[in-house]
Amino acid sequence: TVVLGIESSCDETGAGLVRDGRLLGQALASSMDEHARFGGVVPEIAARAHLEAFTPVVREALDRAGLRPADVGAVAVTTGPGLSGALQVGLAGAKTLAHSLGVPLYGVHHLAGHVAADTLEHGPLPDPCVVLIVSGGHTSLLLVRDLARDPVVHLGDTLDDAAGECFDKAARLFGLPYPGGPAIDRAAREGDPGAVTFPRPLTGPRDDPYAFSFSGLKTAAARWAERYRARGERPPLADGAASLQEAVADVLTRKAVAACREHGVGTLVVVGGVAANSRVRALAEERCRAAGIALQVPPLRLCTDNGAMIAAVGDLLVRAGAAPAPLDLSVDPSAPLEYAALHPVGRA
Ligand code: ATP
Ligand code: MG
Ligand code: FE
């Protein structure tokens, strides 16, 4: 079965086609540039952009895969979490396609998509594996068994900001361009990661070993920059960016490796937009090698939002024999990640 996946939870309109775990083609449109001058995603602009991009993006994904609409055997769509209006555009489009093609529809959790993205590069996820999801809105350590059938176990989550949010907010304070994560990564290349000692939140002996907190780090970055500005000096941004990136990468990888060790799990999978960060990737590599843990990180284009990852979840659900969604499937902007499918799949 060829599964068409649709993603529209934030500012990326994505379509991807997957069959039996293999990516056949994908296309992506982004309204990122339209949000840049506001310093963050504007929901109404995002929803309108999805509406304009939906048909061209689906058509382009099909073209790249060398497929026609009639070849599609199932449609999977992100129904949450995300921006309500943005999700609704994708869902309406997906429903229309599924209904007109006479194929089943699956509602997919966006974060399960980020997890499944890795399967398109490395094949089926080892059961069990520890997954570190680090994205714009989420930071969680998960114990994942069979993504299509089993609930994911949250070992720990962020208590406040997500790692990506920390980068995005710090970049804004530093006067770096939007989106902040890639800008921090670029600026950090010229900087000294040891120049500023930023805190490593929740890494003390009495702290929850798998919980995260990044809002204090953002505040520390703001104070650091302010000390220079108060003296009428320009803060050395490359050093600030490199040091902040080091602190975030240190905390993320330390906790992820500890989770693998304590649970006797041999594979760490790092996914989500912040998995594109060069220091997070390098430090995860270094620490996993030292601990004898296999590391899997998807290629950059599969880390940030895309339609292929949603198709990958749909493909897993189809192959697991999951029941399709009812036609009154609706969006759930704040859905917590438990099951990959965001509708009852008739598990017995
Ligand atoms: P969520 O998946 O939690 O709903 P989202 O979909 O907006 O949020 P993603 O697309 O997974 O998030 O990732 C976007 C985030 O990744 C942004 O915060 C962005 O700054 C960050 N990011 C992207 N590339 C990098 C990078 N190279 N270094 C650090 N952060 C990055
Ligand atoms: Mg985005
Ligand atoms: Fe995302």
pLDDT digits (tens, 9 = 90+) for 141-154: 999 999 999 999 99
Render pLDDT for 61-104 as a digit per residue (tens, 0 to 9): 999 999 999 999 999 999 999 999 999 999 999 999 999 999 99
Predicted local confidence at residue 142, as pLDDT: 98
User: Is 157 marked as a binding-site residue?
Assistant: no
Predicted local confidence at residue 344, as pLDDT: 63
Region 41-46 average pLDDT? 96
Distance, in Å, from the CA atom of 244 to the CA atom of 196, rounded to the nearest integer, reads 8
Distance, in Å, from the CA atom of 161 to the CA atom of 137, rounded to the nearest integer, reads 8
ipTM of model: 0.98
Predicted local confidence at residue 25, as pLDDT: 98
CB of 245 closer than 6 A to ligand 1? no
Structure tokens at 68: 């026609």
Region 168-193 average pLDDT? 95
Q: Closest-lying ligand to the alpha carbon of 272?
A: 1
Distance, in Å, from the CA atom of 270 to the CA atom of 122, rounded to the nearest integer, reads 12
Region 225-254 average pLDDT? 97
Distance, in Å, from the CA atom of 91 to the CA atom of 257, rounded to the nearest integer, reads 37
Distance, in Å, from the CA atom of 56 to the CA atom of 72, rounded to the nearest integer, reads 16
- On the question of pLDDT at 347 being above 70, the answer is no
Render pLDDT for 109-147 as a digit per residue (tens, 0 to 9): 999 999 999 999 999 999 999 999 999 999 999 999 999
> For residue 174, which of 274, 248, 249, 242 has the smallest C-alpha distance?
242
100: part of which helix (H) or strand (E)? helix 84-101
Identify the residue whose C-alpha is closest to ligand 1 atom 16.
Answer: 273
Predicted local confidence at residue 152, as pLDDT: 96
Q: Closest-lying ligand to the alpha carbon of 182?
A: 1
Which residues are CB-neighbours of 126 under 8 A, at least 6 positions away?
Answer: 266, 267, 294
User: Is 168 marked as a binding-site residue?
Assistant: yes
Predicted local confidence at residue 179, as pLDDT: 87
- The residue with tokens 């017995």 is 348
Predicted local confidence at residue 345, as pLDDT: 63
- On the question of pLDDT at 227 being above 80, the answer is yes
Phi-psi label, residue 194: left if phi above 0, alpha if psi -120 to 50, beta otherwise:
alpha
- On the question of pLDDT at 32 being above 70, the answer is yes
Distance, in Å, from the CA atom of 329 to the CA atom of 79, rounded to the nearest integer, reads 8
Structure tokens at 121: 């590069």
Predicted local confidence at residue 348, as pLDDT: 37
User: Is 127 marked as a binding-site residue?
Assistant: no
- On the question of pLDDT at 165 being above 70, the answer is yes
CB of 167 closer than 6 A to ligand 1? yes
Region 196-208 average pLDDT? 98
